[in-house]
A and B are shown apart, each in its own frame.
Chain A
């Protein structure tokens, strides 16, 4: 049990780290949001599962936290993307033109 929990914790930490690395490496806001939000959501979920394997008696709060992360993290990233669009960041303009043709 403990070993499974440790593995989940480790996987979660790896995904969180990759998400942060993606934040640094990607060239513009939208791609940063893409890599950041996916990695951090699954990373946080995985950490929650890992903690569950160590401490099954905490399941109730962990479930609340998991639902919370699943709902809020995509909403947050979408709203930031929308705000970035509103401030006039449009790095993909040529691609958009190609498509409408």
Chain B
């Protein structure tokens, strides 16, 4: 079990670093949703199912949708550099 928590933490940290360093906003949104995914798994592993439920509902779903819609509405994808059409 401990190894699973460590694995989830590693994935979470990787995705969080990716969120910071990615130049494309949309890719960063995808990485953020992976962060909250890993966080929900950690909560579930640590036997806090109610917290995990809230985390899955709010962070994985709503914040991803909101961020994606924001990127779409504000046209921030125009400032994408490099990380896109290849």
Contact = CB atoms under 8 A, between A and B. Distances in A.
**Co-assembled chains A and B:** yes
Contacts, number: 4
Interface in B44-86: 84-85
A87 B27 CA distance: 13
SS of A interface (majority): loop
B interface, by DSSP: helix, strand, loop or mixed? loop
Contacts of A87: 84-85
Contacts of B85: 87-89
Interface of B: 84-85
A5 to B, nearest CB: 20
A89 B85 CA distance: 7
Contacts of B84: 87
Interface string A41-54: 00000000000000
Contacts of A89: 85
Contacts of A88: 85
A7 to B, nearest CB: 22
A89 B84 CA distance: 9
A88 B86 CA distance: 9
Interface string A66-89: 000000000000000000000111
